[in-house]
Structure 1
Amino acid sequence: MNFVEWLKVVLLGIVEGITEWLPISSTGHLILVDEFVKLNQSEEFMKMFNVVIQLGAILAVVVLYWSKLWPFHTKKNAPRRSWFANQADHGFMKGFQTFCNNYCYMDKIVLWLKIVLACIPAMVIGIPFDDWMEEHFHNATVVALALIAYGVIFIVIENYNKKRTPRMVTLTDLSFKDAFLIGVFQVLSLIPGTSRSGSTIIGGILIGASRELAAEFTFFLAIPVMFGASLIKLLKFGLTFTSVELAVLIVGMVVAFGVSILAIKFLMGYIKKHDFKVFGWYRIVLGLLVLLYFYVIR
């Protein structure tokens, strides 16, 4: 690969890092960028690359929110006994409870249970219909229409949301039912152009979450969802890479990781003082430009 090709890889990493966390659709943008900036790689590899590059973005969430996500600890003076030893002495449930009391932050265990619960709807729909949706929906027309539709939805919801006070502002306020409902909204993001973060943020706001909470839970929900999607694509591709393909993946993920850290910090700072309307207008304008290009100019 020449220098220009590597610049294209860096550009795709930048696009992924920005658009994965802002509610403007990363998959949609990668499909559009690929129309104008094509890498000299096979179509099969690029389909896999556009998903697996998200692993870099996932790592950014893990790094930034490690203290909120890591559920294990060791209490001072806690007995150094494994869960297996405890359950042998006291029975299964008693041993498990003792282990959790000594080595786990229960609020974080509960958070992870909510995250797993919220992933179920996307797994049930996404895994069996992945190939079908890729065949029928991965095109510029669907992306453009989804960009416009969700742009309008964001503006309407933010106008409606001005009249309400959020009933949930922290992760502990989020019930299992609320988490599952947000997961249902995530199913909509299987259509390119809708935006995974956009779908779950809209869902969170509609059920009464603050913007900050909706965005934060969206970040956490991305970890198992994007890891699972990446694993599926890797398995379908066959886990056989040339040295160049492997280098392309690594560079793309590293760039996506660095840019994602900046994008997440920007978004969380921005929504403390502003709403999501600007992203709605951006989506509408971009969607119209895409339709103009593909149906008039091209």
Structure 2
Amino acid sequence: MDLVLLLKAAIMGLVEGLTEFLPISSTGHLILAGSLLDFADAKAKVFDIAIQTGAIVAVIIVYWQRLRDALTQVQRSEAARRLVANVAIGFLPAVALGLLFGKLIKAHLFNAPVVASTFILGGLVILWAERRPAAAAPRLVEADDMRAIDALKVGLVQCLAMIPGTSRSGATIIGGMLLGLSRKAATDFSFFLAIPTLVGAGAYSLYKERDALALTDLPVFTVGFIVSFLSAWACVRWLLRYISSHDFVPFAWYRIAFGAVVLVTWLGGWVQWAD
């Protein structure tokens, strides 16, 4: 057993778990970590699916009671039906636009200037969103109060995350806040929306890369999955506590700094920022 390879898998899992649900783009961090660790071969795409699955399972466990109540009470509870319907509505734009433009975006936008620009621009948008007077007086306090049109708008904003470096969580959380949701409501709905979105994207990618699967890779995938699950579980629980009394401004400055890192690593030829 290659202990060095297992250590690399653990580091990649940690990066995925800590960045998937924060507004800082897990994809950008995985590219950087994979390049620095020389962990970016043909099987990396399948490995990324495995560790992303670990992060999804973490969210499901954190929200298990609420998800279970919504699914079991959907026939007799208006609030449960509204939540399930809103998640479905928010999920559809990503499916449609992903199938239509996914290949085109990967072919033309996955490069260092775009990644750096979206990191920096995203940071500036967060700063603006948090400093608006409306941020202190949101229109919707809880995700359960969302209407179908609110879910559709957040779903459309989520599609911006198809541009590398944007961050799915960042797009949905900050987009939700700009649309009138409270910080908590936007974060909760972002996590709910992540479940079908990431499961669907993962299943589709796994099908495309099925020929790269091998039983000998199971230990590496298992280590990455477990570390991703544990770190994502801790990160999601921390973030839910954090937003109760803090804003997202620190993440904005982090994004701007990371955008500069992308440019430096690209100009220096240290990282190949391409898919």
Q: How far off is 1:195 after superposition?
A: 0.2
CA distance, structure 2, for counterparts of residue 50 and residue 192 of structure 1: 15
Counterpart of 2:75?
A: 100
> Is 1:66 paired with 2:64?
yes
Counterpart of 1:288?
A: 260
CA 239–230 in structure 1, closer or farther in 2 if over 3 Å, else same: farther
Q: State the one-letter code of the partner of 2:75.
A: C
Counterpart of 1:5?
A: 5
TM-score of the aligned structures, taking structure 2 as reference length: 0.91
CA 179–205 in structure 1, closer or farther in 2 if over 3 Å, else same: same
Q: State the one-letter code of the partner of 1:100.
A: Q
Q: How far off is 1:100 after superposition?
A: 2.5
CA distance, structure 2, for counterparts of residue 151 and residue 72 of structure 1: 36
CA distance, structure 1, for counterparts of residue 113 and residue 135 of structure 2: 35
CA distance, structure 2, for counterparts of residue 236 and residue 139 of structure 1: 22
Q: How far off is 1:113 after superposition?
A: 1.0
Counterpart of 2:273?
A: none
Q: How far off is 1:175 after superposition?
A: 0.8
**Farther off after superposition, 154-163 or 187-196:** 154-163
Q: How far off is 1:232 after superposition?
A: 0.7
Counterpart of 1:46?
A: 44
Report how many residues are paired. Answer: 269
Q: How far off is 1:50 after superposition?
A: 2.1
Counterpart of 1:221?
A: 193
Map 1:57-206; keep pairs closer than 5 Å. Answer: 57-70=55-68, 71-73=70-72, 100-101=75-76, 105-161=77-133, 164-206=136-178
TM-score of the aligned structures, taking structure 1 as reference length: 0.84
Counterpart of 1:253?
A: 225
Q: State the one-letter code of the partner of 2:209.
A: F
CA distance, structure 2, for counterparts of residue 53 and residue 163 of structure 1: 34
Q: How far off is 1:173 after superposition?
A: 1.3
Q: State the one-letter code of the partner of 1:49.
A: F
Counterpart of 1:241?
A: 213
- Contact 1:171–1:213 (8 Å) recurs in 2: yes
Q: Flag structure 2 segments of 5+ consecutive residues without an equivalent.
A: 271-275
Q: How far off is 1:296 after superposition?
A: 4.5
- Contact 1:69–1:108 (8 Å) recurs in 2: no
CA 286–277 in structure 1, closer or farther in 2 if over 3 Å, else same: same
Paired residue secondary structure (2:102)? helix
CA distance, structure 2, for counterparts of residue 258 and residue 25 of structure 1: 19
Which of these residues, 257, 260, 266, is aligned with residue 238 of structure 2?
266
Q: How far off is 1:59 after superposition?
A: 0.8
Output the aligned Cα RMSD: 2.0
> Is 1:22 paired with 2:22?
yes
Paired residue secondary structure (1:208)? coil
Q: Flag structure 1 segments of 5+ consecutive residues without an equivalent.
A: 75-98
**Farther off after superposition, 193-202 or 140-149:** 140-149
Cα offsets for 1:182-212 (capped at 9, x unmatched): 0010000011110000000111101111101
Higher-Rg structure is: 1
Q: How far off is 1:268 after superposition?
A: 1.1
Q: How far off is 1:24 after superposition?
A: 0.2
Q: How far off is 1:73 after superposition?
A: 4.3
Q: How far off is 1:217 after superposition?
A: 0.5
